[in-house]
Amino acid sequence: MSDVAAEVRGLRMRYGNTDVLDGIDFVVRTGEVVALLGPNGAGKTTTIEILEGFRARSAGQVSVLGADPEHAGEPWRARLGVVLQSWRDHAKWRVRELLHHLGAYYAPYSTAEITRPWDADELIELVGLTAQANTRIAHLSGGQRRRLDVAIGIVGRPELLFLDEPTAGFDPAARREFHELVHRLTDREQATVLLTTHDLAEAEKLADRVLILAAGRIIADGSPSELALRLSAQAEVRWTVDGQRFVHPTEDATTFTRKLFAQYGEAVEDLEVRRPNLEDTYLELVEEYEK
Amino acid sequence: MNSGTLMRQVRLLRLLRQVRLVRLGVTRGLIELRQSLTYWPDVFQNFFFSGIQILVLFLMRGHHVPGTTFSLGSLTLPSIIGMGFAFTGMLGVTGLLTVDREDGTLLRAKATPGGMTGYVLGKITMVSVTTLIGVVATLILGLIAFPGVHLTAAGLGTLVWVAALGLLATIPIGITVGSLIPNPRFLPIFILPFAALTAISGIFYPITHLPGWLQAIGQVFPMYWLGLGMRAALLPPHLAAVEIDGSWRLPLVFLVLFLWSVLGLSLAPAVLRRMARHESGSRVAERRERAMVRGR
């Protein structure tokens, strides 16, 4: 297996006179969980649908699992997983029945390394639907239905999994439950995942690497902690000396505090080093680019 | 191993995949069939229309074909069998396809390797078997309760080829139309022309009593020929006298249904592919939003 799962160079998408994507570049390495983070309308869904092979691009090079999604065939499709936002499709099917049926399409694409498809019962257990295995899909709750969507997305044991706004419209409990499921999956299968979200906290929680997309461009690319550092370079140091309060913004809080102690020694009290809220900085950055 | 053997093996492997896919499609169709036969709203819908049709037939049983002593109900029963093909094959498939597109069933098929092939084969299987169940049920009823409806060996032969051509002539057209309609709310638009077509296709009312130009229009579409073919298969030969030209015109039945099959089969795959190519998660999401706004 190549160590690059997907590569995008100079990707552009134009609808009429508007550039939705204005030349984006990124690489997803095998085994990585990458989040495409950005506000609504930034072009996240367009990007992921181009990579899924569901949408034709205007310009640029795209390679997903070594093939151009626009021209790749069914054997390529068999190596991908797409978690779709369901609505009311297959309402009359039962959970196991549907997973078993959809899984069967992947059987001819089994390889020595990857046995396809996933056993339906095992998969049902993994997503926590054992009690609902014989339930009609129409009777599942919203959260259960979403877990089934994930199960359908991974039934072919994908080498690359796409999740588009996976927790849109979730309440906090359902969101946490979903995050746990993705963690379980990535720990166990070491799958490569590309997900889109407009929620910074979600990107931080799930992803090894975050790409921030705004106004059709990638404006930042790094691990959540790298981004946190980069986005909030200015730290604030607060302290008191002799009952007097001081506040000082600095790029290098460590050096600054060292100097502070060198100068005042034990007179320094109530020391606090504070980084600005990551979310505020992120929103500021996005706003700046969207202008 | 030389390259010739390798090529043969690759081809064999591909063939096996195709066979597997066909089997999966048929399985899918049978699962959906079982679901619709055990899901009471579907069952009710199916029985409701068949029930009304049969009631109409019984009410017509006492009346005679003008100028003969033959029961009007018995004359109409084969025509209704013919109409059933047009109804399920065209209107039914169109409806299923637009609904499946709106709710994302088709997108799931597209995201699965070979899924679209499986989906289409599944629909064809389900619709064909549903239609044939209707044919057999109506036929049995006709043979038992409608004097004059009978089945000879030759008639059975005609019934089989008209039925086969009937499925081929209607389902691909249904798939084509279903791929062209943007969403299920356009479906009612088709109900009225379809009812009008039934009226001029000699199903409940003899086509010979219509003005020439209406007869001409009726004879363009498969429904008239399906009705005629079924009458030829199930009614005594002397009743051909009330038809156009005083004949069952079986060669023409074959030709027209065959031409519709060719037309449908040459259009359906391309139109379906074009429609499927444009399906994506955001499209389905857009339609969901619109449907939510309408409050469905």
Facing residue for A105 by CB, picked from B16, B115, B288: B115
Q: What pLDDT sits at residue B124?
A: 92
Give yes or no for a contact between B149 and B74, defined as CB atoms under 8 angstroms apart. Answer: yes
Contact B111 A88 (CB under 8 A): no
- Degrees (nearest 5) of the Cα angle B4, B7, B11? 140
Residue type, A164: D
Residues in chain A, total: 291
A233 pLDDT band, cuts 50/70/90, is low
Tell me how far apart the alpha carbons of residues A10 and B152 are, in angstroms, rounded to a whole number. Answer: 71
Contact B113 A106 (CB under 8 A): yes
Give yes or no for a contact between A155 and A118, defined as CB atoms under 8 angstroms apart. Answer: yes
Residues in chain B, total: 296
Q: What pLDDT sits at residue B41?
A: 80
Tell me how far apart the alpha carbons of residues A212 and A196 are, in angstroms, rounded to a whole number. Answer: 10
Q: Indicate if the pLDDT at residue B256 is higher than 90.
A: yes
Q: Does ipTM exceed 0.90?
A: no
Half-sphere exposure of B173 (CA within 13 A, CB side): 23
Give which of B89, B78, B97, B109 is closest to B164, Cα–Cα.
B89
Q: What pLDDT sits at residue B258?
A: 96
Q: What is the pLDDT of residues B118-146, one digit of tens each?
A: 999 999 999 999 889 888 988 998 899 88
Every domain of chain A and the residues it spans: 1-79+159-232, 88-157, 233-274
Contact A54 B280 (CB under 8 A): yes
Give the distance from residue A56's alpha carbon to the nearest chain B alpha carbon, in angstroms: 9
Task: Write out the two tokens for A253.
Answer: 């809080």
Tell me how far apart the alpha carbons of residues B247 and B242 are, in angstroms, rounded to a whole number. Answer: 8
DSSP conformational letter for A90? T
Q: Indicate if the pLDDT at residue B1 is higher than 60.
A: no
CB pairs A-B closer than 8 Å: 83
Contact A85 B285 (CB under 8 A): yes
Tell me how far apart the alpha carbons of residues B192 and B188 are, in angstroms, rounded to a whole number. Answer: 7
Tell me how far apart the alpha carbons of residues B56 and B73 are, in angstroms, rounded to a whole number. Answer: 8
Tell me how far apart the alpha carbons of residues A75 and A111 are, in angstroms, rounded to a whole number. Answer: 11
Superfamily of domain A1-79+159-232: P-loop containing nucleotide triphosphate hydrolases (3.40.50.300)
Give which of B137, B149, B122 is closest to B60, Cα–Cα.
B149
Residue B97 has phi, psi (to 5 degrees) of -65, -45
Secondary structure tally for chain A: helices H, strands E = 10, 12
Residue type, B179: S
Contact A85 B118 (CB under 8 A): no
Q: What is the pLDDT of residues A250-278, one digit of tens each?
A: 888 889 999 999 998 888 888 988 876 66
Q: What is the mean predicted confidence (pLDDT) over B86-105? A: 88
How do strand A244-250 and strand A235-241 relate by DSSP bridges?
antiparallel
Direct distance between the N- and C-terminal alpha carbons of chain B, in angstroms, rounded to an integer? 62
Omega cis (within 30) before B206: no
Residues of chain B with a CB closer than 8 angstroms to some CB in chain A: 16-17, 20-21, 24, 27-28, 31-32, 35-36, 39, 100, 103-105, 107-108, 110-115, 118, 279-282, 284-285, 288
Tell me how far apart the alpha carbons of residues A44 and B281 are, in angstroms, rounded to a whole number. Answer: 12
Q: What is the mean predicted confidence (pLDDT) over B160-170? A: 95
Q: What is the mean predicted confidence (pLDDT) over A12-27? A: 91
Tell me how far apart the alpha carbons of residues B169 and A50 are, in angstroms, rounded to a whole number. Answer: 37
Q: Indicate if the pLDDT at residue B296 is higher than 60.
A: no
pTM of the model: 0.86
